[in-house]
Amino acid sequence: MSRPVPAATAALRVLRFLSGQPVPVSATHIAGALDLPRSSAYHLLTAMAAEDFVVHYPEDRTWGMGIAAWEVGHGFARQEPLARLARTPLARLVDRVGQSAHLVVLHGADVLYVIEERAPGRPPLVTDVGVRLPAHLTASGRAILASLPAAQVTALYPGKAAFTSRTGAGPQSPTELRRLLVTTRQRGYATEDGEVTEGFASIAAPIDAGTIHASVAVTWESRAPAGDMVADVRATAAEIARRLRRT
């Protein structure tokens, strides 16, 4: 009869625990919840972070799920509730507006692309399933960040060093981001133009479904007329949220 490997068992318990938390938590919290010695919990988390299964937020002294954990579960993700329930509404959105659309979830200070629906005849985008991009640069990320508590946004963006740029545009400080998120929150949707890829713009709306931090967005060539897509994007996000609440 095979014997369990204590470190492997502990690592799996940590992943399961973190996957159920709405926000990153401290190592002390993890150790207490799983009845692990604090020193063992720190060593375990450090080893898991080295393999990207967890991510450490030093300014906030917390730990959250890492990209490797998402990648391992990617096959299941295609059938899990968010992706499964969102795919049809997203496809209908693409049919209505004639532009490519996607759904993302927040992962630390990045967004992860979970679904990408390409509109026929539209140019390829940098976004695809499994791609990560800085949340503060994308309309998708801004829509989610605007729905989070201010303290959580501050933990993700404690100073100017937390900000990156792809095209030279976009917020470059916590103050600039806060102002942008205030506007986003007031109007109920987010935008970006040329901040992810020059010549392309996006509109996004958050999915209001409890602890799920996700959003829906449409991307198009910014030199082409956008039309009135805001209502369609917001309606799609609301429909996905309703579907999730019924599960």
The region that residue 108 occupies, defined by phi over 0 for left and psi between -120 and 50 for alpha, beta otherwise, is: left
User: What is the per-residue pLDDT for 247?
Assistant: 65
User: What is the per-residue pLDDT for 165?
Assistant: 83
pLDDT over 60 (residue 225): yes
Element (H, E) at 39: helix 38-50
Q: Reduced to 3 states, what is the DSSP secondary structure of residue 140?
A: helix
Question: By the 8 A CB rule, do 111 and 133 touch?
Answer: yes
Percent of residues, the chain, with pLDDT higher than 70: 90
| Banded pLDDT at 75 (limits 50, 70, 90) | very low
Average pLDDT of span 69-96: 76
Please state, as a whole number, how many other Cβ atoms lie within 10 Å of the Cβ of residue 185. Answer: 16
| Banded pLDDT at 213 (limits 50, 70, 90) | confident
Which two tokens mark 77?
């993700």
Q: How far apart are CA 168 and CA 154, in angstroms?
A: 22
Q: Reduced to 3 states, what is the DSSP secondary structure of residue 204?
A: strand
Nearest to 174 by CA among 154, 150, 146: 154
Q: What pTM was computed for the model?
A: 0.68
In the block, residue with structure tokens 């140019």: 123
Comparison of pLDDT for 225 and 144, the residue scoring more: 144
Nearest to 127 by CA among 166, 96, 178: 166
Nearest to 229 by CA among 208, 195, 203: 203
